Chains A and B, each alone.
Chain A
Amino acid sequence: MSQADTAVVAAPQLGSRGCAPAAAADHVLRERGQREVFCGLTGIVWLHRKIQDAFFLVVGSRTCAHLVQSAAGVMIFAEPRFGTAIIDERDLAGLADANAELDRVVGRLLERRPDIKLLFLVGSCPSEVIKLDLSRAAERLSAQFLPRVRVLNYSGSGIETTFTQGEDACLASLVPGLPAEPPGAADSLMVVGTLPDVVEDQFGRLLQVMGIERVAFLPARRAGSMPAVGPRTRLLLAQPFLADTARALEARGAQRLPAPFPFGDEGSTLWLQAAATAFGVDAQRFEAAVAAPRERARQALARQRAVLAGKRIFFFPDSQLEVPLARFAARELGMQLVEVGSPYLHRQHLAAEMALLPAGTLLSEGQDVERQLDRCRAARPDLVVCGLGLANPLEAEGIATKWSIELVFSPVHGYEQAGDLAALFARPLDRRTRLAA
């Protein structure tokens, strides 16, 4: 008999900020045990592409360096803007020494890379366990290198963060340093969460057409142009994994606009609608702005729906994108949800999503990977969304998979990408038909 804690609890009633009462998701399975997930360090892989003058220095072990290298694939070779200060025996012998060593490594790094304006000291399991105080190190180094370079710190350790939570920790570390809104400023919209540039530009144009003038994105593409924040800032979260960032922004007076996440036609429309409502955009103008892209998205989705409707899909926990993606798969592609696993369910941020899920959807939070695999095998779903450690082994057992990391690395948000997102689910099934033929 396994001793892993398993509990089935009723989903909490949605707060008053939710879109609708919870008619759905009445089962949440909570599990603890072995987890087959990435740690937060992995966020560096896309964050360093987004903030063009930032460098991410992991303070950790050879394992951390090996992980980032494995996750970054071949990007490691294009004069990368990330690296690892590998802790060795001498650093473990005495803490003062470790700080001096860190200063030396950072000095050398900034000497070699004069283009760097923002340096993140990224905490790891080893640095957290030996209690190396990286926040103080960041202050000390900032004092030394300002105004040329600002040094910040966040933790991407596996003991504290799962995969995309690394981005949350990173963005949250930016918040205290954001400029304050000038007094008397008009309302502004801040879109929070790393989006591919192409997607960011699309959203920027749509909001512009609606007449929402003051729109900024966090993170900005350069360290020097991070957006201002204050009581007139309205937040629109583009990603579901930004709990700490949202909290830090709210602490500075910003207000979150509750909305589902912009996946598919429906998600994108409701997300944009939340902004339009908050900024008093009239219905006609909103409709005029979104009509053409909506039509394009619908057409693209109709083609994929033909392949995917009725197919049973199982999500292993990975990025916290699972609930919004499951909502998209169920409502816009006609797929049936077997189990929707997520490393962490943020009840408040997901309220609008949960309200849209089909009644009786089994949600699971956390993981005991062996038991989850047992459930998956028993259910024999048509498609399993999972990490790369599980994908080929499941394929070898005859189960079609879609590897989840691609959903984080590819442009999938918004109208123009709705068809591409659906195609990511359709392609493995299409391939199986072709190879069998």
Chain B
Amino acid sequence: MQLTLWTYEGPPHVGAMRVATAMRGLHYVLHAPQGDTYADLLFTMIERRRERPPVTYSTFQARDLGGDTAELFQRSVREAYERFRPQAMIVGASCTAELIQDDPGGLAQALDLPIPVIPLELPSYQRKENWGAAETFYQLVRHLAKAPAAPRDSGARPCCNLLGPTALGFRHRDDVREVTELLALIGVDVHVVAPLGATPADLARLPGADFNVVLYPEVASLAARWLERTHRQPFVGVVPIGIGASTDFIHRVAELAGVNPAPALERIEWRARWYAQSVDSTYLTGKRVFVFGDATHAIAAARVASREMGFTVVGLGSYSREFARELREAATLYGVEPLITDDYLEVESRITEAHPELVLGTQMERHIAKRLGLPCAVISAPVHVQDFPARYSPQMGIEGANVMFDTWVHPLMMGLEEHLLTMFRDDFEFHAEAAPSHLGSAATALRAVPAADVPAMAPAVKAVPAAPIESPAVATAVPSSPIELGWAPEAEKELHKIPFFVRGKARRNTERYARDRGVATITVETLYDAKAHFSA
């Protein structure tokens, strides 16, 4: 048993739902108890879908466990077929049904429906959501794309399939559009996009493309490898997230399509590249960034962070155990210890240790960063409703690079702004208790507490909304220094002039320096001696 407060991934049948909901003309009958329909609202609320997911739940209850659960399941399959008339069905068990050992595949086959009925084996107690999506997509492709394609005209434009986008996928909707436009620029058509928007009949047409593009390896690797083996379709394994990766992607696509990539590459204007070169971005240089997410997005983000933004990657991790090898390889590029875990407490303590100035992660890291008072941007699922935006916001291709630049820099600008406000904290208009300036003199300003009144050993005054790193709210905070070490009021005051996002580190370094030298009271002098010592 594993004590879990937060799970990065749902169970594997949720992955199957993501594939079924992405498609049209497919229905999923899930052998499951009452209550498992909670997953419907992930699609209707977080992704704001306009239809219910095409999933029927057998909804067995305790009184059914005596023995008619099999009959109940068959009835669900029959009624779902009669009501929805899908082109194909997938059937399987949720975690509880796996324990009662009905055989959904066999039970559904026995009904002899006039459509393909594909059984799914999704081991709920070993595997998770992304694996479930990958296995479901693979089984669908294997069952529906058996027939080889008719030979194509030699003069036809090259075409490829886009594999991997699903329902509840982070920015999948817009990535598909962006990559489609990128391919058009190279002179390559899109044959079938799957699972997103595809019907079972479309899956049967997959072998008709020249090659495949795997947009999301977590979902489409299995199916792409099967298509390569069975229909001799090569696939593009480069995920076009970031300028460099998009350029590599264009070269690889051009190679498989037999076209010259140069004209396309000349036409592209990488605005994100110029933005990163412009002088306003100089302050981004060497910013320490911690990256965590699914393997594909984390690896891609680390590359963008280090080579296209000029950050320093101080942490790289993923909850995708299936892609641990790829992530370890990537971590060696940045000389960091790879982190493969699905325990958010471990992620939290690694972030705390690394003292990043920016966290790139999931919804969970957003909350960790909030607790630590760090800027953060979201790069990967799981995400909340605000990361299924109304506006066009891909991560891939040309516009994806622009979106990422804005998204990542935004919290830092906010951070800098906050820092300026802190710098001018003792300013007559900007002190912490001052009313917003736009309210003018009508607002009653509270009396500001002069910084000199702060007791020497008090933790940092929270004049900024964000808690500084050494805030006692953080369970994993470094233990406070032994009692014989003190801060002179002037030194404490000086410390507060240091930007809040490095203040915690400055405090710790200074205290360590003082202890090593037996200094009992830290003065302004000690602070600057320590600074000189550690930056040497």
Residues on A lying within 8 angstroms of B by beta carbon are: 2-4, 33-42, 59, 61-63, 65-67, 69-71, 74, 76-77, 79-80, 82-89, 91-92, 98, 101-102, 104-105, 108-109, 125-126, 128-130, 157-160, 162, 370, 387-393, 396
A-B CB proximity, top 7 nearest: A39-B35, A158-B35, A389-B40, A396-B50, A61-B95, A125-B96, A388-B41
Contacts of A87 in B (CB 8 A): 1, 125
Contacts of B124 in A (CB 8 A): 61-63
A39-B34, A62-B7, A69-B7 given as contacts; is B126 within 8 A of A88 (CB)?
yes
Indicate if the CB atoms of A37 and B35 lie closer than 8 Å: yes
Indicate if the CB atoms of A85 and B7 lie closer than 8 Å: no
* A41-B41 Cα distance, complex, nearest whole Å: 16
Instruction: Select which of B3, B34, B79 is within 8 A of A37 by beta carbon.
Output: B34
What sequence of 0s and 1s flags, for each residue 54-86 of chain B, a beta carbon within 8 Å of any chain A beta carbon?
001111111011000000000110010001000
Instruction: Name 16 extra pairs, CB < 8 A, besides A125-B95, A158-B96.
Output: A35-B34, A37-B34, A61-B95, A62-B7, A63-B96, A67-B35, A67-B39, A70-B39, A77-B6, A83-B3, A92-B125, A102-B1, A105-B2, A128-B62, A158-B34, A392-B48
| B116 interface residue (CB < 8 Å to A) | no
| B390 interface residue (CB < 8 Å to A) | no
The interface size of chain B toward A, counting residues with CB under 8 Å, comes to: 57
* A40-B61 Cα distance, complex, nearest whole Å: 13
Contacts of A79 in B (CB 8 A): 475
- Closest CB of chain B to A401's CB: distance in Å? 11
| B51 interface residue (CB < 8 Å to A) | yes
Residues on B lying within 8 angstroms of A by beta carbon are: 1-7, 9-11, 13-14, 33-42, 44-45, 48-52, 56-62, 64-65, 75-76, 79, 83, 94-96, 99-100, 124-126, 128, 364, 367, 370-371, 384, 475
Of the A-B pairs whose beta carbons lie under 8 Å apart in the complex, a sample of 18, sorted by A's number, is A36-B40, A62-B4, A63-B14, A66-B11, A82-B5, A85-B3, A88-B2, A88-B126, A91-B1, A125-B35, A128-B62, A129-B96, A129-B99, A158-B33, A158-B36, A158-B61, A387-B41, A396-B51
* A71-B100 Cα distance, complex, nearest whole Å: 26
Closest to A83 in B: B5
- Closest CB of chain B to A77's CB: distance in Å? 4
Instruction: Select which of A33, A41, A83 is within 8 A of B59 by beta carbon.
Output: A33
- Closest CB of chain B to A125's CB: distance in Å? 4
Residue of A36, A38, A159, A387 ringed by the most chain B CB atoms within 10 A? A159
A129-B99, A162-B34 given as contacts; is B44 within 8 A of A393 (CB)?
yes
Indicate if the CB atoms of B44 and A89 lie closer than 8 Å: no
- Closest CB of chain A to B370's CB: distance in Å? 8
Instruction: Select which of B1, B13, B96, B370 is within 8 A of A86 by beta carbon.
Output: B1
Closest to A60 in B: B95
Instruction: Select which of A66, A85, A157 is within 8 A of B33 by beta carbon.
Output: A157
Instruction: Select which of B5, B37, B100, B475 is within 8 A of A36 by beta carbon.
Output: B37
* A82-B62 Cα distance, complex, nearest whole Å: 25
Contacts of A125 in B (CB 8 A): 33, 35, 95-96
Contacts of A83 in B (CB 8 A): 3-5
